[in-house]
Amino acid sequence: MSSVLMVGVDGSECGERAVEFAARRAKNSGARLFITYIIEWSPFTFSTALENAERHQRREEEIQRAHSEIVDPIVDRLKTEGLDVEGLVRHGHVAETLNALAKSKGVVNIILGRQGTSKLKAHVFGSVGSRLVQSAECAVTVVP
């Protein structure tokens, strides 16, 4: 039984480094790999009636764009390298959703890129990495 790894990507260079790190480990250990992109979304926002009516359609578009622009290119590239890899796109609070997904997929290690946000911004909004480190139910690796 091989282990399962999950990489959280956000389309940035840091996310790219996390992917390389995870791919190397997966190659060495034969682990299964999930490439995950979370679309920031809250169930408690305010919207107009028209936005609500179009929401289902917009959601599909958002998921498709995340797949075609960010997740799928990475998955395709790693597949050609012979890795067992799958792409996932979800809506939600980034840290909470990554944790919940990891739990449901039996992931042993979540791998993230360093966000590189300024100190102030991280204080005000909290960074995904630090939130996840505090709340995750599996190991979290932050790649610099």
Partner 1 sequence: MSKLSVGIATLVSLFASFSVFAETGIDEKINIAVKPFADAVAGFVFFSFPVAGVAIPFVLVWLIVAAIVFTFYFKFINLRAFKHGFELVRGDYHDPEAAGEVTHFQALATALSGTVGLGNIAGVAVAVSLGGPGATFWMILAGFLGMSSKFTECTLGVKYRNELPDGTVSGGPMYYLTKGLAEKGAGFAKLGKVLAVLFAIFCVGGSFGGGNMFQANQSFAQLVNVTGGDTSWLADKGWLFGLIVATLVGLVIMGGIKGIARVTSKIVPFMAVTYVMAGVAIILMNYSLVPSAIGAIIDGAFTAEGISGGVIGVLFQGFKRAAFSNEAGVGSAAIAHSAVQTSRPVTEGFVALYEPFVDTIVVCTITALVIIITGTWDPSVDPSAGVQLTSSAFESAFSWFPVVLTVAVILFAFSTMISWSYYGLKSWTFLFGENNFTDATYKVLFLFFVVLGSSMQLGAVIDFSDAMIFAMAFPNLLGCYFLLPVVKKELNEYWADYKSGKLVKTRVS
Contact set with partner 1 (CB under 8 A): 39, 41, 43-57, 59-60, 62-63, 90-92, 97, 100
Sheet strands side by side (includes 85-92):
85-92, 32-40, 4-8, 109-113, 139-143
Encode 37-51: b = buried (16+ Cβ within 10 Å), e = exposed. Answer: bbeeeeeeeeeeeee
Minimal distance, residue 46 CB to partner 1, in Å: 4
The distance of closest approach from Cβ of residue 91 to partner 1 in the complex, given in angstroms and rounded to an integer, is: 3
Residue 54's CB is within 10 A of a number of other CB atoms, namely 13
Q: Which C-beta is closer to partner 1: that of 19 or that of 94?
A: 94
d(CA 86, CA 138): 19
Q: Which is nearer to partner 1, 84 or 96 (CB)?
A: 96
- What's the closest the beta carbon of residue 14 comes to partner 1, in angstroms? 24
Assign 54 to helix, strand or coil. Answer: helix
Nearer to partner 1, 22 or 66 (CB): 66
Residue 58 beta carbon to partner 1: minimum distance, rounded to whole angstroms = 9
- Residue among 18 and 89 whose Cβ is closer to partner 1: 89
